[in-house]
Amino acid sequence: MKILIADSSIFILDRLENLLLETFSNAAVLRAGSYKDAMMLFKEQLPGIVLLDVSLPRSLSLLGEIKKRQSKTCVIVLSIQIDLKIHEKYSLRGADFFLDKYYEFEKIPG
């Protein structure tokens, strides 16, 4: 299973990668800290799951591109605070799930 983490925080990238590898020892975890890197990795690797932080610049555009290229990819949107406006915008672009990084961080592997 290939999982792409798109987040501009090195700390979050490290934490999520460790959390995922603890849960899925056979997972290939891909890391991107920018839109450009995330798009490149997505095109090359075609991960089945993408963890996308809303604070990543151009994250909404990235979500749209991912769903346009591979609609079956599961995109989990991460945010410190997911409000109705964010939920609506990202849902319209095809987000599959939403998780609050502060309260639901440990739920991410599930």
**pLDDT tens string 58-103:** 999 999 999 999 999 999 999 887 788 889 999 999 999 998 876 6
**pLDDT tens string 9-68:** 999 899 999 988 988 888 899 999 999 999 999 999 999 999 999 999 999 999 999 999
Give the whole-angstrom CA distance, residue 36 versus residue 12: 18
Q: pTM of this prediction?
A: 0.91
Which pair of structure tokens corresponds to residue 77? 């949107």
Give the whole-angstrom CA distance, residue 56 versus residue 80: 12
Pair 34, 9: CB distance under 8 Å: no
Residue owning tokens 């798109």:
6
Pair 46, 70: CB distance under 8 Å: yes
Nearest to 60 by CA among 22, 26, 24, 94: 94
Model pLDDT, residue 100? 82
Handedness of CA 8, 52, 94, 74 (dihedral sign): positive
Give the whole-angstrom CA distance, residue 103 versus residue 93: 24
In this prediction, residue 104 has a pLDDT band, given cuts at 50, 70 and 90, of: low
